[in-house]
Structure 1
Amino acid sequence: MDPHLLATFVAVARHGSFSAAATELGYTQSAISQQIAALEADLGLPLLRRRPVEPTPAGARLLEHAAPLLLRLRAARADVLRAAARPRHRLRLAATPLSTGPVLARRLAGVRARRPRLEVALHTCGLDQVTAMVAEGEADVGLVDGIAAPSDPLRLPDAGPMTTARVSEEDLAVALPVDHPLAGRAALRLAGLVDARWVRSPLCPLARLRDLMGDPAGDGFPTGLEHTGDDVHTVLALVAAGHGLTLLPASALTPLVAGVPLAAPRLVHRVELLHGTLPPGTADLVKDLSG
């Protein structure tokens, strides 16, 4: 299967338009049609309905495979280029919103103090994008976070060979409105909160909580409000206003909400550093950041 044809198929399916895909990829609409026809001929199946433009069942199945396949190809190219790169005085970091806490800030300050010429660029985004940026060479190092059992590694998307290292682990707390009946408790159990309303956000994915409670397909932890952003202050404001609870590292809480330690199950907020093949001169920087 030609990866160029696969990338064209993904673009057409994403836009729902041959002409829009042609504009994005720099081809004529006729060339896009020919590439899709070639891919369909290779597989012997129709992949797109034409009016409206949308995937067939076979096309939808192919889309499930397309993104990780194309990512692995881009990652392989980036890995080869990194291995042959020249040393430079620039560090590109991609990080999830809750991974860049005080521990990292102190370590990064130490790195820069020892290397005054070092330029640092930090880009904040979601876990999937951090992983993709590192795999594709757009970032030298990634920092990701999530909820895990103590010392357990985080679950990361498959983006090819990648090295991970623990940066920190921190206790979790349930964030509630200050006048919530449970706000005065010394600790809370997650099992006692499965019927409470929660703020669903990338900072606290409810599917992960259901998985941890052994009920991945259940209806526990109902959504009181869904927030698609990654700003912790917005999430805390929603909790304070009574839209639902959330689970965050204790250091992320503010006086806006009440924070009650999570007693059971034993879970932590884990931060990991990840990288592929490092450019020359970058390995010692990574060692300093991971502690």
Structure 2
Amino acid sequence: MKAQPDLKLLATFLAVVQHGSMAEAATALGYVPSAVSQHIAALERDLGIELLVRRPGSRLILTAAGRSLAQAARTLFEATARFRDTADGIANREIAELRVGAYPSAVSHLLPGVLTALQAGDRGAARIRLVIVETHEGLPRVTSGDLDLLIAYRYLPEDPPVTSPEWEITSLGHEPLVLVAGPQPGHRPLDLAACLERGWTSGHPHNPDRRLLRRWAGELGISPDVTLETEDLHSMLAMIRAGLAVGLIPVTLLAEETGRPTVQRVALPPESTPLHREVLAVSRPGLRPPVIDELLALLAEALKAVPA
């Protein structure tokens, strides 16, 4: 028995099974009847077993081995057809699943609307497997192939991700950063000078947001006292709402502040540089599936809609 089945012989065999005679199978395949008979005989020799009972004047009868082979051959050709469809889709940059990593606040405040719009579009068939991951943790996972796409942020131009042969980087827009504090009695405005008497919240000393805070404070000649260090923006915001700290928060996290606000913006000096963090898409170099481009276009539109 051959290690690999001869697909041409199997196709002829299935045609004979379907039509019930070698003559009809030959007509359907465009062969002469003797060629069909030769294919069946060759297949039986390869397998070392009789597949068809040939009786003059009657339709062909499948043996038990023939019935088993017909079932297996149908399964094989169905799988082959699915494989070809998948291969054609891959050639057209269509995919069944996309692994996307994103930082936590993007998952909670940007991606829900974007993914809803993507699923409603013409190319919503791709399944999105979402992984919450900070930028510095996600970059090596893009390089390794564990993630197909990373939604990342960059507080300072020299921060990673930077230009590299390992990545394709697309800038999607910016998230403005605003200095906020807990609501004041009587809704009194709060200025920067009053904030310097309070504790601040920011990332750990080597975190990008903390380095941005130090650079910004240095330009203004101030020295904020950071009493809460955390990478979790939602924890920062909780402490600010409780009146226990002030801090720079991406404005996207404040988008749901409707009705009675739970934080208030701090009035900054006119010479203060507007702050933001850049939102980036990181993928491996090469052609990207169309669903990635559509996802990134929707994200860019969402960022344009973020109020300053």
Asked if 1:288 corresponds to 2:297, the answer is yes
Question: Which residue of 1 is the match for residue 212 of structure 2?
Answer: 208
- What CA distance in whole angstroms lies between the structure 1 residues aligned with 2:242 and 2:151? 31
Amino acid in structure 1 at the alignment position of 2:237: L
Find the residue that maps to 1:99 and give its secondary structure.
helix
Task: Return closer, same or farther for 1:198/1:119 CA change in 2, 3 Å cut-off.
Answer: same
Question: Match for 2:280 among 268, 272, 291?
Answer: 272
- What CA distance in whole angstroms lies between the structure 2 residues aligned with 1:207 and 1:196? 19
Question: Match for 1:93 among 100, 112, 115?
Answer: 100
- What CA distance in whole angstroms lies between the structure 2 residues aligned with 1:288 and 1:173? 25
Is this contact kept in 1: 2:142–2:149, CA < 8 A? yes
TM norm structure 1: 0.54
Question: Which residue of 1 is the match for residue 72 of structure 2?
Answer: none
- What CA distance in whole angstroms lies between the structure 1 residues aligned with 2:171 and 2:162? 18
Is this contact kept in 2: 1:197–1:245, CA < 8 A? yes
Amino acid in structure 2 at the alignment position of 1:185: P
- What CA distance in whole angstroms lies between the structure 2 residues aligned with 1:167 and 1:139? 18
Task: Return closer, same or farther for 1:285/1:139 CA change in 2, 3 Å cut-off.
Answer: farther
Asked if 1:177 corresponds to 2:161, the answer is no
- What CA distance in whole angstroms lies between the structure 2 residues aligned with 1:204 and 1:212? 12
Task: Return closer, same or farther for 1:91/1:285 CA change in 2, 3 Å cut-off.
Answer: farther
TM norm structure 2: 0.52
Find the residue that maps to 1:205 and give its secondary structure.
helix
Asked if 1:250 corresponds to 2:251, the answer is yes
> Displacement, 1:127?
1.8
Task: Return closer, same or farther for 1:163/1:196 CA change in 2, 3 Å cut-off.
Answer: farther
Query: Aligned-pair RMSD on alpha carbons?
Result: 3.8
Amino acid in structure 1 at the alignment position of 2:100: L
Amino acid in structure 1 at the alignment position of 2:203: S
Question: Match for 2:199 among 197, 200, 207?
Answer: 197
Is this contact kept in 1: 2:105–2:233, CA < 8 A? no
Task: Return closer, same or farther for 1:265/1:116 CA change in 2, 3 Å cut-off.
Answer: closer
Asked if 1:260 corresponds to 2:269, the answer is no
Find the residue that maps to 1:173 and give its secondary structure.
strand
Amino acid in structure 2 at the alignment position of 1:224: T
Find the residue that maps to 2:145 and give its secondary structure.
coil
- What CA distance in whole angstroms lies between the structure 2 residues aligned with 1:270 and 1:213? 19
Question: Match for 1:224 among 224, 227, 230?
Answer: 227
- What CA distance in whole angstroms lies between the structure 1 residues aligned with 2:295 and 2:216? 31
> Displacement, 1:102?
5.3
> Displacement, 1:214?
4.2
Q: How does 1:1-291 map to 2 (within 5 A)?
A: 88-100=95-107, 104-112=111-119, 113-147=121-155, 153=157, 155-157=159-161, 160-161=164-165, 162-179=167-184, 184-185=188-189, 196-201=198-203, 205-214=209-218, 220-228=223-231, 230=232, 232=234, 234-253=235-254, 254=257, 255-260=261-266, 264-278=272-286, 281=289, 284-285=293-294, 288-289=297-298, 291=300
Identical amino acids, percent of aligned pairs: 21
> Displacement, 1:237?
1.7
Is this contact kept in 1: 2:237–2:249, CA < 8 A? no
- What CA distance in whole angstroms lies between the structure 2 residues aligned with 1:110 and 1:212? 37
Pair member with larger Rg: 2
> Displacement, 1:278?
4.8
Instruction: Name stretches of at least 5 consecutive residues in structure 2 with no aligned partner.
Output: 1-90, 301-308
- What CA distance in whole angstroms lies between the structure 2 residues aligned with 1:180 and 1:165? 44
Task: Return closer, same or farther for 1:226/1:267 CA change in 2, 3 Å cut-off.
Answer: closer
Task: Return closer, same or farther for 1:280/1:273 CA change in 2, 3 Å cut-off.
Answer: closer
- What CA distance in whole angstroms lies between the structure 1 residues aligned with 2:122 and 2:247? 39
Structure with the larger helix share: 2
